[in-house]
A and B are shown apart, each in its own frame.
Chain A
Amino acid sequence: MELADRAVGLLLSVISLSIFTYYTFWVIILPFVDSDHFVHKYFLPQEYAILIPVYAGVGLICFLSVFIGYVMLKSKKKKA
């Protein structure tokens, strides 16, 4: 059904755009704002700006390797 496809596509675009704007704000704009400004409340401390993508990337790589290993094992078992 094309409506479900379009809904999923819209959701994906919205998620990616929001992540992009949040991250841009976090990394580039926030260092130039005075530390008294109220907007600092909405953003985690700057160390997390590095940690979160790194952890997410490492988690993704782990998941991919586990998945590939599982598929390879399954195909080997089927051949034998």
Chain B
Amino acid sequence: MVYWGPKGKTNTAHQMKHIVKIMALLVAMSALWISLLQSSKIPESYTWLLPLYFIVSLGCYGLLMVGVGLMQFPTCPHEAVLLQQDIVEAKEYLKQNGVDVGSNP
């Protein structure tokens, strides 16, 4: 089930570097946030609110993109009909040649 090809070792190495990158990004962002707070450019009451607000708005943005993508998903009804015809033809052909095609559940 698991294929440990010659890529096995480099895959884990890439995962390690990826996590290090993400942690570095997180540390940089928190350092920026704490420096902004210390130099009192932002009122103290916003310590927890603003990062949480950005996280919530990021989640909302993702949800919005999913919704918009769903609404704009292009369906091809013409191709769907042609595909059904192809399936029927293939089933008949295979039945003639003796392959066992189960019926649709």
Contact = CB atoms under 8 A, between A and B. Distances in A.
Contact of B53 (A8, A14, A23, A31): A23
A10 B53 contact: no
26 contacts: A2-B75, A6-B70, A9-B66, A10-B71, A12-B64, A12-B66, A13-B63, A14-B67, A15-B63, A17-B60, A19-B56, A20-B56, A20-B64, A23-B53, A23-B56, A23-B57, A24-B57, A27-B49, A27-B50, A27-B53, A31-B45, A50-B48, A50-B52, A53-B52, A54-B52, A79-B1
B60 A20 contact: yes
A65 interface: no
Interface residues of B, number: 23
Contacts of A9: 66-73
Lowest 7 A-B CB distances belong to which pairs? A9-B70, A12-B67, A13-B67, A9-B71, A16-B63, A20-B60, A16-B64
Q: Is the interface of B mostly helix, strand, loop or mixed?
A: helix
A16 B60 contact: yes
Nearest to A12: B67
Nearest to B45: A31
A1 B17 CA distance: 43
